[in-house]
Amino acid sequence: MKKRKLGNSDLFVYPIAFGGNVFGWTADEKKSFEILDGFTDAGFNFIDTADVYSAWVPGNTGGESETIVGNWMSQRNNRDKIVLATKVGAPMGPDKKGLSKKYIFQAVEDSLKRLKTDYIDLYQSHYDDLDTPIQETLEAYHQLIKEGKVRWIGASNLSPERLTESLEISKKFNLPKYQTLQPEYNLYQREGYEKNFEQIVQDNNLGTINYYALASGFLTGKYRSEADLNKSQRGGAVKNYLNERGFKILKALDDVSEQYSADQASIALAWLIARPSITAPIASVTSLDQLEDLKKAATLKLNVEDIAILDEASAWE
């Protein structure tokens, strides 16, 4: 595995980020520690979470994932070896959302406390806040960087227009610039990123750390019919992929995975890693067995012909 640079930052990561949305949801603290140990033992160093993870679980309030990651880093005494990314802006309760200066200053303290650290490597705007001027948000980040609480910033779920405007305001007022973009992107969901964001990413040298890298598990190949949807808690999200295009993509994954003696998940991730504009796809697992797919993907080099097979099967134009 070779490290990759996140945008124009001084952060170097191995080519897969672990998605912390499963912590406190489909993985309790004990299981999460086991998975994080396995992930870092395999050589990886990049963990992505958010303050709101996993508020959607009955009984949770948000912050569960950050708390687990913080407890793990504290127990393992490995904070300096981890590139830690989290996010701010998603609704956490009444008056606890958005990207205003006041709220960011409050939210970052809460995240730092849960993460048991005094700095965040990559702090990301989780969702856009149309009620707060972009300049105000960037000024808040400027202050946090000045104080040493945040090292670099990134964006997730911004429209291409708002992302471009943010980059322009950074330049105009000499404010921190987003170094990364976290969009939805995978072999099935290609059009949104490739059509609207990829050129912006390349023109501004942003690092793309895409979520839903395996399309909620569809690209693992374990969901082939509606009867398969109850195989996991995330099965319901896969239903929309069970169509002619989805099956064509699975067929290509099946064919290519045979060539490399690898699972479909590894091939789908390797396809992402091979794309020049992608720095590190975000993937989650809930067992050590599944972790093998991430390890394989990070060291797999797909040849041009096999990338072309996957490109053709998943083409959106």
Nearest-Å Rg of the Cα atoms of the chain is 19
For residue 271, give the 3-state DSSP assignment.
Answer: helix
Task: Give the pairing of strands 17-19 and 282-283.
Answer: parallel
Nearest-angstrom CA–CA distance, 113 and 287: 28
Per-residue burial over 212-232, b = 16 or more CB atoms within 10 Å of its CB, e = otherwise: bbbbbbbbbbebeeeebeeeb
Question: Residue 293, exposed/middle/buried by CB under 10 A (0-12, 13-18, 19+)?
Answer: buried
Under DSSP, the state recorded for 278 is: B
Nearest-angstrom CA–CA distance, 227 and 239: 10
C-beta of residue 90 within 8 angstroms of C-beta of residue 127: yes
53, 123, 141, 212: the catalytic one is 53
**Beta-bridge partners for 181:** 155, 208
CA-to-CA dists, residue 252 to 137, 152, 267, 285, angstroms: 43, 38, 10, 23
Q: Which two tokens stand for residue 284?
A: 């989650």
- Say which residue the tokens 């053709």 belong to: 312
Would you call 53 a catalytic residue per the annotation? yes
* 294: nearest Cα among 115, 12, 47: 47
C-beta of residue 178 within 8 angstroms of C-beta of residue 167: yes
Catalytic amino acids? 53
